[in-house]
Amino acid sequence: KNICVLISGTGTNLQALMDACDAGRIDGSISAVISNNADAFGLERARNAGIKTHCLSHKDFASRDDYDLALGDLLAQYDADCIVLAGFMRILTPEFVARFSGKLLNIHPSLLPKYRGLHTHQRAIENKDTEHGVSVHYVTPELDGGPVIVQSRVPVFDDDTVEDLAERVSEQELRIYPLVVKWFCEGRLAMKENKAVFDNEIL
Protein backbone atom coordinates (compact mmCIF):
# COMPACT_ATOMS: atom_id res chain seq x y z
CA LYS A 1 0.00 0.00 0.00
CA ASN A 2 0.96 3.50 -0.73
CA ILE A 3 1.14 5.81 2.29
CA CYS A 4 1.51 9.60 2.36
CA VAL A 5 2.24 11.35 5.64
CA LEU A 6 1.35 14.96 6.41
CA ILE A 7 3.32 16.75 9.12
CA SER A 8 4.04 20.18 10.54
CA GLY A 9 6.66 19.49 13.18
CA THR A 10 9.06 17.12 14.88
CA GLY A 11 7.82 13.98 13.25
CA THR A 12 8.21 11.43 16.03
CA ASN A 13 5.06 9.71 14.81
CA LEU A 14 6.39 9.83 11.26
CA GLN A 15 9.60 8.18 12.51
CA ALA A 16 7.63 5.39 14.17
CA LEU A 17 5.77 4.80 10.89
CA MET A 18 8.99 4.82 8.86
CA ASP A 19 10.53 2.31 11.27
CA ALA A 20 7.48 0.05 11.11
CA CYS A 21 7.51 0.10 7.30
CA ASP A 22 11.26 -0.60 7.21
CA ALA A 23 10.88 -3.51 9.59
CA GLY A 24 8.09 -4.96 7.44
CA ARG A 25 5.55 -4.56 10.23
CA ILE A 26 3.40 -2.43 7.92
CA ASP A 27 2.61 -3.87 4.53
CA GLY A 28 3.16 -0.60 2.73
CA SER A 29 5.67 2.11 2.05
CA ILE A 30 5.73 5.83 2.57
CA SER A 31 5.81 7.41 -0.87
CA ALA A 32 5.86 11.03 0.27
CA VAL A 33 6.00 13.25 3.31
CA ILE A 34 4.33 16.64 2.97
CA SER A 35 4.70 19.54 5.38
CA ASN A 36 3.11 22.98 5.47
CA ASN A 37 6.15 24.18 7.37
CA ALA A 38 9.61 24.19 5.76
CA ASP A 39 11.36 23.97 9.15
CA ALA A 40 9.60 20.81 10.25
CA PHE A 41 12.26 18.41 11.53
CA GLY A 42 10.16 15.56 10.18
CA LEU A 43 11.12 16.63 6.65
CA GLU A 44 14.75 15.99 7.54
CA ARG A 45 13.89 12.56 8.93
CA ALA A 46 12.19 11.70 5.64
CA ARG A 47 15.01 13.08 3.47
CA ASN A 48 17.56 11.10 5.47
CA ALA A 49 15.55 7.98 4.77
CA GLY A 50 15.38 8.75 1.05
CA ILE A 51 11.66 9.46 1.10
CA LYS A 52 10.28 12.14 -1.21
CA THR A 53 9.37 15.33 0.59
CA HIS A 54 7.31 18.36 -0.30
CA CYS A 55 6.81 21.62 1.49
CA LEU A 56 3.53 23.24 0.64
CA SER A 57 3.40 26.44 2.62
CA HIS A 58 -0.03 27.79 3.43
CA LYS A 59 1.52 31.25 3.20
CA ASP A 60 1.77 30.83 -0.58
CA PHE A 61 -1.98 30.43 -1.00
CA ALA A 62 -4.71 33.04 -0.94
CA SER A 63 -7.30 30.88 0.77
CA ARG A 64 -7.77 27.63 2.62
CA ASP A 65 -9.72 26.31 -0.36
CA ASP A 66 -6.81 27.01 -2.70
CA TYR A 67 -4.36 25.38 -0.32
CA ASP A 68 -6.44 22.25 0.11
CA LEU A 69 -6.94 21.97 -3.65
CA ALA A 70 -3.17 22.06 -4.20
CA LEU A 71 -2.57 19.63 -1.35
CA GLY A 72 -5.19 17.30 -2.77
CA ASP A 73 -3.67 17.45 -6.25
CA LEU A 74 -0.25 16.63 -4.83
CA LEU A 75 -1.65 13.65 -2.92
CA ALA A 76 -3.53 12.52 -6.02
CA GLN A 77 -0.22 12.36 -7.90
CA TYR A 78 0.94 9.75 -5.42
CA ASP A 79 -2.27 7.81 -5.66
CA ALA A 80 -2.18 7.39 -1.90
CA ASP A 81 -4.16 4.52 -0.37
CA CYS A 82 -3.69 5.93 3.09
CA ILE A 83 -3.10 9.52 4.15
CA VAL A 84 -1.70 9.77 7.63
CA LEU A 85 -1.92 13.06 9.51
CA ALA A 86 0.94 13.02 11.99
CA GLY A 87 1.00 16.37 13.75
CA PHE A 88 -0.34 18.22 10.70
CA MET A 89 -1.51 21.47 12.25
CA ARG A 90 -4.03 22.54 9.64
CA ILE A 91 -7.79 22.44 9.59
CA LEU A 92 -8.95 20.69 6.42
CA THR A 93 -11.86 21.86 4.28
CA PRO A 94 -14.92 19.60 3.95
CA GLU A 95 -14.15 19.35 0.21
CA PHE A 96 -10.67 18.00 0.91
CA VAL A 97 -11.98 15.54 3.46
CA ALA A 98 -14.68 14.34 1.04
CA ARG A 99 -12.11 13.90 -1.73
CA PHE A 100 -10.13 11.43 0.39
CA SER A 101 -12.89 10.11 2.58
CA GLY A 102 -12.07 6.82 4.30
CA LYS A 103 -8.36 7.23 3.61
CA LEU A 104 -7.53 9.95 6.12
CA LEU A 105 -6.26 9.05 9.58
CA ASN A 106 -5.34 11.39 12.43
CA ILE A 107 -3.81 11.04 15.86
CA HIS A 108 -5.00 13.32 18.63
CA PRO A 109 -3.48 13.52 22.11
CA SER A 110 -6.61 13.10 24.21
CA LEU A 111 -9.28 10.55 24.95
CA LEU A 112 -11.75 11.87 22.39
CA PRO A 113 -14.44 13.15 22.52
CA LYS A 114 -12.69 14.90 25.42
CA TYR A 115 -10.44 17.83 24.56
CA ARG A 116 -10.64 18.43 20.85
CA GLY A 117 -8.24 21.10 19.65
CA LEU A 118 -5.05 22.30 21.32
CA HIS A 119 -3.37 22.16 24.76
CA THR A 120 -4.91 18.83 25.66
CA HIS A 121 -2.34 17.87 28.33
CA GLN A 122 -2.71 21.17 30.09
CA ARG A 123 -6.48 20.88 30.05
CA ALA A 124 -6.38 17.35 31.48
CA ILE A 125 -4.14 18.55 34.34
CA GLU A 126 -6.23 21.65 35.03
CA ASN A 127 -9.38 19.54 35.21
CA LYS A 128 -7.64 17.16 37.64
CA ASP A 129 -8.34 14.19 35.39
CA THR A 130 -6.88 10.96 36.70
CA GLU A 131 -6.76 9.49 33.21
CA HIS A 132 -5.65 10.89 29.86
CA GLY A 133 -4.48 9.41 26.60
CA VAL A 134 -4.45 9.41 22.83
CA SER A 135 -6.89 8.58 20.05
CA VAL A 136 -6.39 7.50 16.46
CA HIS A 137 -9.43 8.34 14.37
CA TYR A 138 -10.76 8.69 10.85
CA VAL A 139 -10.87 12.28 9.65
CA THR A 140 -14.27 13.80 8.97
CA PRO A 141 -15.03 17.48 8.39
CA GLU A 142 -15.58 17.97 12.12
CA LEU A 143 -12.25 18.90 13.77
CA ASP A 144 -11.01 15.96 15.89
CA GLY A 145 -14.56 14.63 15.65
CA GLY A 146 -14.23 11.63 13.32
CA PRO A 147 -14.89 8.04 14.43
CA VAL A 148 -12.31 6.74 16.88
CA ILE A 149 -10.41 3.61 15.85
CA VAL A 150 -8.16 3.01 18.86
CA GLN A 151 -7.41 4.78 22.12
CA SER A 152 -4.66 4.27 24.62
CA ARG A 153 -5.02 5.43 28.22
CA VAL A 154 -2.39 6.69 30.62
CA PRO A 155 -2.63 7.71 34.26
CA VAL A 156 -2.30 11.34 35.34
CA PHE A 157 -0.37 11.79 38.59
CA ASP A 158 -0.84 14.67 41.04
CA ASP A 159 2.57 16.17 40.45
CA ASP A 160 2.60 15.75 36.66
CA THR A 161 3.83 18.66 34.57
CA VAL A 162 2.56 19.15 31.02
CA GLU A 163 5.89 17.73 29.83
CA ASP A 164 5.59 14.60 32.01
CA LEU A 165 2.14 13.91 30.67
CA ALA A 166 3.08 14.69 27.06
CA GLU A 167 5.94 12.20 27.32
CA ARG A 168 3.70 9.49 28.74
CA VAL A 169 1.14 10.06 25.98
CA SER A 170 3.80 10.19 23.28
CA GLU A 171 5.02 6.70 24.21
CA GLN A 172 1.52 5.43 23.51
CA GLU A 173 1.24 7.39 20.25
CA LEU A 174 4.36 5.70 18.88
CA ARG A 175 2.89 2.34 19.79
CA ILE A 176 -0.65 2.66 18.47
CA TYR A 177 -0.30 4.72 15.28
CA PRO A 178 1.87 2.16 13.44
CA LEU A 179 -0.54 -0.54 14.59
CA VAL A 180 -3.57 1.22 13.13
CA VAL A 181 -1.76 1.96 9.85
CA LYS A 182 -0.78 -1.72 9.70
CA TRP A 183 -4.42 -2.77 10.07
CA PHE A 184 -5.49 -0.20 7.52
CA CYS A 185 -2.96 -1.45 4.98
CA GLU A 186 -4.10 -5.03 5.54
CA GLY A 187 -7.66 -3.99 4.70
CA ARG A 188 -8.82 -4.88 8.20
CA LEU A 189 -10.26 -1.45 8.86
CA ALA A 190 -12.92 0.68 7.24
CA MET A 191 -15.22 3.59 7.92
CA LYS A 192 -18.89 2.81 7.44
CA GLU A 193 -21.73 5.17 8.25
CA ASN A 194 -19.41 7.35 10.27
CA LYS A 195 -18.16 4.46 12.37
CA ALA A 196 -14.82 2.68 12.40
CA VAL A 197 -15.31 -1.02 11.72
CA PHE A 198 -12.86 -3.92 11.99
CA ASP A 199 -12.18 -7.19 10.18
CA ASN A 200 -15.27 -9.33 10.39
CA GLU A 201 -17.59 -6.38 10.12
CA ILE A 202 -16.02 -5.26 6.82
CA LEU A 203 -16.91 -8.42 4.91
**Residues classed as catalytic:** 108
Q: How far is the CB of 104 from ligand GRF (least distance, A)?
A: 13
133 is an interface residue for ligand GRF by CB under 6 A: no
71 is in an annotated binding site: no
178 is an interface residue for ligand GRF by CB under 6 A: no
Backbone angles phi, psi at 58, to 5 degrees: -65, -20
Q: How far is the CB of 61 from ligand GRF (least distance, A)?
A: 22
Cβ proximity of 151 and 173 under 8 Å: no
Q: Which of 173, 176, 178, 182 is in the footprint of ligand GRF by CB under 6 A?
A: 173
The full 3-state SS of 59-113, as one line of letters, equals: HHCCCHHHHHHHHHHHHHHHCCCEEEECCCCCCCCHHHHHHCCCCEEEEECCCCC
Stretch that binds ligand GRF, among 6-14, 45-53, 97-105, 155-163 (CB under 6 A): 6-14
Q: How far is the CB of 144 from ligand GRF (least distance, A)?
A: 9
87 is an interface residue for ligand GRF by CB under 6 A: yes
11 is an interface residue for ligand GRF by CB under 6 A: yes
Q: Which of 86, 92, 104, 156 is in the footprint of ligand GRF by CB under 6 A?
A: 86
For residues 76 and 118, which CB has a smaller minimum distance to ligand GRF in the complex? 118
- Binding site as annotated, residues: 11-13, 64, 89-92, 106
Residues in contact with ligand GRF by the rule CB under 6 A: 7, 9-14, 42, 86-87, 107-109, 173
